[in-house]
């Protein structure tokens, strides 16, 4: 048996897949070469997959194995918390197999099949009537699942009053959208989240004294137009519609929006007013998301 567990291109044979996972774990320093060989031997004797054998022998956790499998299939999983990790709310980034993420994949499929197929459909606003209805959570996780299927995805935090995306993705918020639309910054303010994930985030930046006026400037529309040319999909996190008129401008620039509601929180009167406001701005509300959490 070769001791070079990680060289070569993995095939679909189970033994080659085991060697590939073992090699990845050795490269990551989670196993020594000797430990990887012992696990592979145990797996062969007991008819187990390499990862299952490693967990049974208490050499690795299930999370270690899942990360190695993700790397094997070029499916990056981000760290949760810490200096380089994402916040707990960005479940799709660090736990893509979570049951919370499957509905997001369904939403992604609907958007792809029914909306993205039109060449002019690129920019989508994520809206809600009130705060704390899950708007930022949906924007962050939906952007992540789009990037996970290879779409070049840009998430813009257009909520200059209560920005959240820099917290969710652990980014510096000193410079962002507010600087971009005032000409004090360029494309460098867009941050790529992971080298193997086509997910980019533009934070809101420092809160200006006049966010509504900044968003109403023609330059904001030009910025979105340029981004639409460079990305497969652009998602925008917006302020709560009941608190400011900013979202009407943002959604009008996008042309399309998704409305987020939350169980036991969304007020029917506020939702009706928000929908009417979007209608008056000629915004196409392509769907709604009912948040149970």
Task: Give a yes or no: residue 9 inside a domain.
Answer: no
Q: Which pLDDT does position 223 carry in this prediction?
A: 96
Residues 143, 19 share a domain: no
Residue 6 has pLDDT above 60, yes or no: no
Give the pLDDT confidence of 242-260 residue by residue, as tens digits: 999 999 999 999 999 999 9
Give the pLDDT confidence of 78-136 residue by residue, as tens digits: 989 988 899 999 999 999 888 999 999 999 999 999 999 999 999 999 999 999 999 99
> pLDDT class for 240, splitting at 50, 70, 90?
very high
Task: Give a yes or no: residue 175 inside a domain.
Answer: yes
Domain CATH code at residue 248: 3.40.50.300
> pLDDT class for 71, splitting at 50, 70, 90?
low
Number of structural domains found in the chain: 2
Q: Which pLDDT does position 3 carry in this prediction?
A: 27
What tokens were used for 147? Answer: 């990037």
Residues 184, 257 share a domain: yes
Phi and psi at 261, nearest 5°, equal -125, 160
Nearest C-alpha neighbor of 204 from the set 232, 182, 230, 228: 182
- CA–CA dist 127, 273 (Å, integer): 13
Residue numbers of the domain that contains 225: 91-291
Residues 145, 55 share a domain: no
To the question of pTM greater than 0.85 for the whole model, the response is no
What tokens were used for 187? Answer: 């494309």
Residues 172, 52 share a domain: no
Residues 154, 264 share a domain: yes
Residues 164, 30 share a domain: no
What tokens were used for 18? Answer: 């085991």
Bridge partners of 288, per DSSP, are 259
Residues 135, 50 share a domain: no
Pick the residue with more confidence: 191 or 187?
Answer: 191
- CA–CA dist 293, 167 (Å, integer): 20
Q: Which pLDDT does position 67 carry in this prediction?
A: 72
Task: Give a yes or no: residue 167 inside a domain.
Answer: yes
> pLDDT class for 68, splitting at 50, 70, 90?
confident
Domain boundary among 27, 44, 72: 72
């Amino acid at each position: 048996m070769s001791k070079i567990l990680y060289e070569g291109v993995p095939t679909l044979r189970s033994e080659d897949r085991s060697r590939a996972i073992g090699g990845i774990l050795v490269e990551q320093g989670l196993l020594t070469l000797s430990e990887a060989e012992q696990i592979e031997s145990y797996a062969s004797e007991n008819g187990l997959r390499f990862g299952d054998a490693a967990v049974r022998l208490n050499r690795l956790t299930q999370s270690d194995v899942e990360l190695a499998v993700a790397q094997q299939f070029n499916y990056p999983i981000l760290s949760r918390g810490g200096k380089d990790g994402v916040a707990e709310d960005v479940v799709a980034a660090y736990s893509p197999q979570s049951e919370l993420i499957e509905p997001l994949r369904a939403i992604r499929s609907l958007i792809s099949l029914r909306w993205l197929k039109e060449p002019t459909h690129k920019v989508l606003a994520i809206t809600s009537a009130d705060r704390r209805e899950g708007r930022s959570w949906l924007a962050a996780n939906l952007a992540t699942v789009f990037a996970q299927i290879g779409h070049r995805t840009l998430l813009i935090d257009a909520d200059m009053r209560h920005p959240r995306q820099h917290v969710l993705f652990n980014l510096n918020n000193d410079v962002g959208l507010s600087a971009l639309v005032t000409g004090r910054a360029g494309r460098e303010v867009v941050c790529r989240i992971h080298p193997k994930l086509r997910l980019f985030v533009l934070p809101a930046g420092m809160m200006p004294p006049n966010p509504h006026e900044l968003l109403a400037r023609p330059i904001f529309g030009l910025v979105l137009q340029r981004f639409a040319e460079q990305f497969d999909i652009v998602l925008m996190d917006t302020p709560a519609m009941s608190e400011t008129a900013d979202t009407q401008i943002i959604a009008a620039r996008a042309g399309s929006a998704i409305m987020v509601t939350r169980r036991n929180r969304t007020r029917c009167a506020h939702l009706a007013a928000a929908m009417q406001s979007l209608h008056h701005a000629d915004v196409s509300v392509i769907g709604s998301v009912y948040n149970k959490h």
